[in-house]
Amino acid sequence: MEHLELFFKSIFIDNMVFATFLGMCSYLAVSKKVATAVGLGAAVIFVLAVTVPLNWLLDQYILKDGALVWLGEEYAEYDLSFLSFIMFIATIATMVQLVEIIVEKFSPSLYNSLGIFLPLIAVNCAILGGSLFMQSREIPTLGLSLTYGVGSGIGWFLAILAIAAIREKIRYSSVPPALRGLGITFIITGLMAIGFMSFGGMLTGGDEEKKEQPTVEAKLDKKELNVETAKEIIADNTNINQ
């Protein structure tokens, strides 16, 4: 349940592109065709799914305040969290290189479709942002951090897929010349972000049990009401109808 909630939350409510504007550069630059957008989106999901859990381990066992305690009691006072930027980005850059090599070796067809995008991804804000948000939101377990990574990746994928599809269609409309290209893309993204804000009420987080009870009571009340005052209501209705 926890996993499912975090999963949907990271896709829709905290969508990387629409809620926090992460990865906008490649989002705007690579969204002219659906096919390339799909390639980049898949690569982002893949890399996020690898780097977020990895950086979670780094954060938990090396960087956090007192995380070095597993080395011995005397290390308990060390707080290396100021190093997290440099550690995270180094992990990401290394992982991207590693993933590129592995994919090239084992699946040349996947490499051909993802390959050109992988180096781009090392400097994609969405990847570093995923790790930094993982750190600042204090995600508690390794499993949840994996869910968070995959979820935000899918959110980003959905966003770039949607904008690429819209941009392919909008080519045939008569946009004012000065707005063509970048301008209209910005405005469409803004409108899409407003649309995604409506997902904000989807999960209220952890209070489902409390909510169920009042609704049941309300139903009971209604039934009693119906039995007792049915005639009155009918009478009222007929009055109104007249």
**Spatial contact of 52 and 148, defined as CB atoms under 8 Å apart:** yes
Q: Residue 115: CB partners within 8 Å, gap ≥ 6? A: 100, 103, 104
Cα–Cα distance, 162 to 172 (Å, whole number): 17
Q: Please tell me whether residue 186 binds other proteins under the rule CB under 8 A.
A: yes
**Spatial contact of 163 and 31, defined as CB atoms under 8 Å apart:** yes
- Binder of other proteins out of 25, 71, 234, 235 (CB under 8 A): 25
CB of residue 100 vs other proteins: minimum separation in angstroms? 12
**Paired tokens of 130:** 């995923």
Nearer to other proteins by Cβ, of 45 and 118: the residue is 118
Nearer to other proteins by Cβ, of 180 and 222: the residue is 180
Kindly indicate which of the ranges 17-25, 68-76, 149-157, 211-219 contains the residues binding other proteins, using the contact rule CB under 8 A.
17-25
Site for other proteins in 38-77 (CB under 8 A): none
Nearer to other proteins by Cβ, of 169 and 210: the residue is 169
Nearer to other proteins by Cβ, of 23 and 53: the residue is 23
CB of residue 238 vs other proteins: minimum separation in angstroms? 44
Comparing CA positions, the residue from 16, 1, 3, 41 lying closest to residue 144 is 3
Comparing CA positions, the residue from 12, 16, 3 lying closest to residue 153 is 16
Q: Please tell me whether residue 20 binds other proteins under the rule CB under 8 A.
A: yes
Q: Please tell me whether residue 128 binds other proteins under the rule CB under 8 A.
A: yes
CA distances from 139 to 92, 113, 166, 207 (A): 19, 32, 34, 19
Secondary structure element (H or E) that encloses residue 120, with its range = helix 118-121
Binding-residue pattern over the window 75 to 114 for other proteins, x denoting contact by CB under 8 A: -------xxxxx--xx--xx--------------------
What is residue 148's three-state secondary structure?
helix
- Binder of other proteins out of 108, 141, 180, 206 (CB under 8 A): 180
Q: Please tell me whether residue 166 binds other proteins under the rule CB under 8 A.
A: no
Nearer to other proteins by Cβ, of 195 and 206: the residue is 195
- Beta partners for residue 65, in sequence order: 79
Residue 8: count of CB within 10 angstroms of its CB? 16
Q: Please tell me whether residue 116 binds other proteins under the rule CB under 8 A.
A: no
Nearer to other proteins by Cβ, of 60 and 69: the residue is 60
CA dihedral over 189, 194, 195, 201, signed as positive or negative: positive
* Residues that bind other proteins in the complex, under the rule CB under 8 A: 18-25, 28-29, 82-86, 89-90, 93-94, 119, 122-129, 132-133, 135-136, 171, 176-187, 189-191, 193-194, 197
